[in-house]
Amino acid sequence: MSIWVRVGDFVANVASNALTSVVEAVRTAFEGDPETRRRVAFSIAMIALSAKMAKADGIVTDKEIRAFQQIFSIPESERAHVARLYNLAKQDTAGYESYAAQMASLCGSGHPNCKCLEDILDGLFHIAKADDYVHEKELAFLTRVGEIFGFDEAHFQAIVARHIDLGEADPYVILGLPRGASFEEARRRYRQLAAENHPDKLAARGVPNEFLTIANDRIAAINGAWEKLERELKAA
């Protein structure tokens, strides 16, 4: 069964105007099927938090809509359900912090710097930067979501550095390395990140196939940072 049929079933049967009803339905329906639960939960988290982020800066551009469509390929027959979920999240009186906490509970591992929650943040950054810059209200939103998701400052800044042009990209920040790291330390860290962010690992975490576009961007940023740092450390 298509993941979007699953999402559509939950949205069609929700009895109230609170996303909490959808989240709780997903939580209980797939207790014996963690793989499907991860896939459905990831999709709902991305849709709901995208809606809340759009409300943060008050503007939804065509570029942001196209960026969302790059993450999700939604069948025509299921688009009405996805639109209902998006509007439900956007209009819900619950604040985005409450949403983020629910999504961390539903999708997260319970450990700091959870990779599945990093996937969600990457998707949100991808949408936020679609109109060529990240609005300060969007960045404030993403920063707070990162805190609720349990990311430490260094890890969150590494995510930011992959998406926002802060001038000359700092390879130490992108790779999460301290200043003065040795060549061997840097190479170990690079190999660790390359292994953790392999597309096969994302699929195992329940990330949709369409998300591989963002996964490839993430790997490109990691590879670029390593190439730059490798040259620097070898020349030292």
How do the domains of the chain map onto residue ranges? Answer: 3-235
Residues 73, 108: Cα–Cα separation, whole Å: 23
Is the pLDDT at 50 greater than 80? The verdict is yes
* Averaged pLDDT, 142-151: 96
* Averaged pLDDT, 146-169: 84
Query: 52-71, pLDDT tens digit by residue?
Result: 888 877 777 778 877 877 77
What is the Cα gyration radius of the chain? 18
Q: Is the dihedral of CA 189, 104, 200, 63 positive or negative?
A: negative
pTM: 0.81
Name, in order, each residue with C-beta under 8 angstroms of 54's C-beta and a sequence gap of 6 or more.
60, 64, 90
Confidence (pLDDT) at 13: 67
Residues 184, 186: Cα–Cα separation, whole Å: 5
Is the pLDDT at 189 greater than 90? The verdict is yes
Name, in order, each residue with C-beta under 8 angstroms of 38's C-beta and a sequence gap of 6 or more.
107, 116, 205, 206
For tokens 């014996």, the residue is 32
